[in-house]
Amino acid sequence: MVIEDPSQSIELLAWLEEPPTAIPQPISVTAPARLPFEQLQPDDFERLVLAVAHTRYKVEEARQYGVSGQKQHGIDLYGRLASSGDAHPRYVTVQCRNVEVVNPAALTSAVDEFLVGPWADRSDHFVYATRASVKRTELAEAVEIAAARLRAAHIRFEVWDGERLSEHLRDQHRIVTTYFGPATAAVYCLPSAGQAPPEAAATEQGASTDQGSEPLPSEPATAAILTRPPCGGQSGVSLWKSVPPGCQRRLKTDPFAAVESGPPAGCHGWSSVGVGIR
């Protein structure tokens, strides 16, 4: 369709610029309840837990303990607590088991091995880290029994299962990005203070890299082409629909002025400029 009357062209442009009558509700995206620890290699799981320990305790030094084949006395990681002082340092120690299932006997055995080893007398905290869930009643009872045994030795016992580890990592965007990638971190982690959501950040980035235009909506929309024969004739407005996303951009200039800057006199054909919709 071509509109020959310039006044109708202006009315059409005004109509195209009108906002929609209503904005649909945003799409609901629910973050997963837990992270995919099963995709990590054993050494990577240990390093992930070590990073979490750094966020949960004030440690001045934290390391993996031992290599394959060495006796490790029931621990895989240790961290020297910053508040303990140099004369008699105190530690948080961790046993890691990146397995799908644990049973009460596994928890009991872990505590037994730890208590008879050299780290029990030096530790204020002992953590059992696993991707398995300990929500089952028999496991919850085993956790409480183990906690009572360690409490008698003045050691605090914690179990970081898959759910608890995931909770600890919800606000740790950097750690999640390191071990699970930026795409997982963008979906799973809470935005930090002053950090825009990914879609808002993308919009701001587009605006900063293209100061002379604004993107069209992501959905196909109706747009217009202002046309004028450069060698005389009347201006018109042609309509098209279903503009593919990203193919056209709205000019932040007077569209008629843009048409006027077409080919010089004596040329043949039509000049045109695309006008998008907010």
Q: pLDDT tens-digit profile of 178-194? A: 999 999 999 999 876 54
| Amino acid identity at 75 | I
Q: Which long-range contacts (CB under 8 A, 24 or more apart) does 75-79 make?
A: 75/114, 75/117, 75/119, 75/126, 76/46, 77/46, 77/49, 77/50, 77/53, 78/119, 79/50, 79/53, 79/54
Residues 6 or more apart whose CB falls under 8 angstroms from that of 214 comprise 207, 249, 250, 252, 276, 278
Domain limits, CATH 3.40.1350, in the chain: 37-188
- Whether CATH 3.40.1350 fits 37-188: yes
Nearest to 78 by CA among 30, 111, 37, 114: 114
Report the C-alpha gap between 227 and 260 in whole angstroms.
Answer: 10
- Residue 76 CB-density burial (10 A; 0-12 exposed, 13-18 middle, 19+ buried): buried
Q: Give backbone dihedrals phi and psi of 232, rounded to 5 degrees, phi first.
A: 115, 165
Q: Report the relative pairing of strands 156-160 and 123-130 from DSSP bridges.
A: parallel
| Amino acid identity at 96 | C
* Average pLDDT of the chain, as a whole number: 76
Residues 6 or more apart whose CB falls under 8 angstroms from that of 250 comprise 213, 214, 216, 274, 275, 276, 277, 278
Predicted local distance difference test score (pLDDT) of residue 264: 46
Predicted local distance difference test score (pLDDT) of residue 24: 84
Q: Report the relative pairing of strands 59-64 and 77-81 from DSSP bridges.
A: antiparallel
Q: Which residues of the chain have pLDDT under 50?
A: 194, 198-264, 266-278
* pTM: predicted TM-score of the whole model, two decimal places: 0.62
